[in-house]
Amino acid sequence: MNTYKFMRSVRLRESACQGCINCIKYCPTQAIRVHNGKAHIIDKFCIDCGRCIRYCPHHAKIAVYDPLSVINNFKYTVALPAPSLYAQYNNLNNVDIVLNALLKLGFDDVYEVSAAAELVSEASREYIKKHADEVPFISSACPSVIRLIRVKFPSLISRLLPIKAPVEVAAEIARARAMQKTGLKPEEIGIIFISPCPSKVSYAKAPLGIEKSNIDNVVAIKDVYPLLLPHMKHDDSQLKPISCSGRIGIGWSNAGGEVGGLLVDNYLAADGIVNILRVLEELEDEKLHGLTFVELSACNGGCVGGTLTVENAYIAATKTKRLVKYQPVSRNHLADNPELKNIYWADNVEYEPVFRLGNTFKESLQMMGTVEELTARFPGLDCGSCGAPTCQTLAEDIVRGDATPNDCIYVLRSNIADLSKKIGQLAGDDGTDPELSDEDRHLLHQYICELTAELASFGVPESQRQHDRDQNSELDT
Amino acid sequence: MSEALTFNYKIDGDDFTRAGEASSSVKNKLKQLGLDSDIIRKVAIAMYEGEINMVIHADGGSITVTVSDSDITMVLADHGPGIPDIEKAMQEGYSTARPEVRSLGFGAGMGLPNMKKYTDEMHIDTVIGQGTTITMKVHI
């Protein structure tokens, strides 16, 4: 099956978009433009980090995910709660309270992603030990990090830990166990991930490192969170013991949690998309030395900071720590999970040179020359009025054929000044004969109409423009 | 040679935190040109080493990078003290960096050797008391 490799789950709610430039400024991969008064996300540049969702003041950026009703599409469903789900609740001292509530909500079974995370930690420890001469490795659990490396850091692709993400491992084990238990066919079983972020939604549809994900649907923590509350019973005697993960597994929800399970000393754990971009640059430039492992999470605070969560990321992180305080270190071992056929990636992640200017080096070189010339013409204010985040990106858009120099209001202004000068000449301001021929008069009229239209339409949404045009034609008559 | 692009950078002296900005900028431009990541890596490392050397020894200078369809040429020019013994300076581990510079993790004596190692051609022009110009080429 060939899935769209630039699938994204961060979308625009056009009706809410006011055409302001907040999102284009905050997007770490410069994947958004504002044209005709509405934002547009460029698929191949977007890494699904969700930063625009956080910063859009009009809530016009949204995450798409599945509604909880998907559980009705299957004969048997297994919930895969992310460990960050636990951190949403106050005074939670026993994970089984949440897991039992999930069963009451309608799931037939539950398999904790944190249990699979402990298997990933074990496999990672082994892999790093075996490949000690190839360090540092970069964590591959956050899909946005993989997508960022895939489009921007080709030389770091080989450093990605080629191990499936905990949720994928959980899905594989959960399906195998459900089939064993029920005798149902694989497609009759729904494996449903309760996710802290939209980037896992895209992952489930178009995974990297493997061909097809075992996750059938992805629902949001923020949807499930309130529905669980009425089912949460804190009386231990009424709880079925389900939970089987320890401190390492549940700790994965926080920044620094993954390295916590690796038992290495020389690590770097960075969170927040802007911080990880800086780390990747420095790694690429070989400025960071002596590292064994690099943990990167796109969200501030780690997965607890995902855009589909409810609780403040830093409070959630503290809650996680409190929850695992008296847990055993780890409760899952690869040897006890024969259902898991292969914990390693089956496919290589390929470099996608989406930021390349042209199709060939020669073409790109020529285009870059034009970019340099254009950039020199622009004021360098990076004001965003043109709809591109910087003067440089506008220049790149122009050479790619997606924008024109007149999108820059400063270039437009100077062009208008030129026009005015010419009009002045035509009208005889410079002392020449003001007598105009019919042809000149016609030209002048056309000129002014075009100029007025261009100025009036600058930055105005298409729909609004139509309206204005109608009004203008009324005035004309 | 049909088309060539030139980029100019001014390197400030004694600001270690900013050393590497020029090589980073060149690296990102080369990526946009779709060059092989191995070539980009060589250019970035060689240029970074040169940049650091300018900051440590010469109070800054200027770098001109020219990209043609056959190679990338980096010309690093400074008005520093000059290199008294090039042969010695080319030895791995030989360094004249001050102790405070070394304490920052620089001055391991790998600068010039790395520049040589990662480029296809390297030429040093140096005059004591006047400055040094290093020309490096990486073939495409």
pLDDT digits (tens, 9 = 90+) for A127-149: 999 999 999 999 999 999 999 99
- Contact assignment for B41 to A155 by CB distance below 8 Å: yes
* Better pLDDT: A350 or A427: A350
Cβ–Cβ of A364/B27 closer than 8 Å? Answer: no
Q: Tell me the chain B residues in contact with residue A364 when contact means C-beta distances shorter than 8 Å.
A: 32-34
pLDDT band for A477, please (50, 70, 90 cuts): very low
Cβ neighbours of A361 in B, within 8 Å? 33-35, 69, 140
Confidence of residue A466 (pLDDT cuts 50, 70, 90): low
Q: Which of residues 144-163 of A touch B (CB under 8 A)?
A: 152, 154-155
Q: Is the pLDDT of residue A432 over 80?
A: no
Q: Is the CB of A350 inside 8 Å of chain B's CB atoms?
A: no
The string of pLDDT tens digits covering residues B63-86 is: 999 999 999 999 999 999 999 999
For chain A, the average pLDDT equals 92
What pTM did the predictor assign?
A: 0.90
pLDDT for residue B130:
95
Q: Taking phi first (over 0 means left), then psi (-120 to 50 degrees means alpha), and beta for anything else, what does residue B26 get? A: alpha
Bigger pLDDT: A140 vs A475: A140
Domain ranges of chain B: 5-139
Say what the pLDDT of residue B19 is. Answer: 84
Q: Which of A155, A284, A357 sits opposite B33 (nearest CB)?
A: A357
Long-range contact pairs involving A27-35 (C-beta distance under 8 Å, separation at least 24): A27/A51, A27/A52, A27/A389, A28/A148, A28/A273, A28/A274, A28/A277, A29/A148, A29/A151, A29/A152, A30/A388, A30/A389, A30/A390, A30/A393, A32/A389, A33/A387, A33/A388, A33/A397, A33/A402, A33/A403, A34/A384, A34/A387, A35/A387, A35/A403
Which residues from chain A sit within 8 angstroms of residue B108, using beta carbons? none
Cβ–Cβ of B32/A355 closer than 8 Å? yes
pLDDT band for position B1 (50/70/90)? very low
Tell whether the model's pLDDT for residue A61 goes beyond 80. yes
pLDDT of A150 > 90? The answer is yes
Distance of alpha carbon A168 from alpha carbon B25, whole angstroms: 37
Q: What is the pLDDT of residue A75?
A: 98
Angle at alpha carbon of residue A271, lines to A329 and A41, rounded to 5°: 130
User: Greater confidence, A194 or A441?
Assistant: A194
Q: What is the pLDDT of residue B2?
A: 56
Q: Is the pLDDT of residue A468 over 60?
A: no
List chain B residues with CB under 8 Å of A281.
Answer: 24
Cβ distance B34 to A285 less than 8 Å, yes or no, reads: no
Residue A458 banded pLDDT, cuts 50, 70, 90: low
Cβ–Cβ gap A361/B45 under 8 Å: no
Q: How confident is the model at residue A429 (pLDDT cuts 50, 70, 90)?
A: low
- Taking CB atoms and an 8 Å limit, are A361 and B41 in contact across chains? no
User: How much is the pLDDT for A349?
Assistant: 94
- Do the Cβ atoms of A364 and B32 come within 8 Å? yes
| Mean pLDDT (whole number) for A176-185 | 97
pLDDT reading at A431 higher than 80: no
Domain spanning B5-139, CATH class: alpha beta
Q: What is the pLDDT of residue A1?
A: 42
Q: Which residues of A touch B43 (CB under 8 A)?
A: none
Average pLDDT for residues A23-45, to the nearest whole number? 96
Q: What's residue B97's pLDDT?
A: 83
Averaged pLDDT for residues A2-13: 88
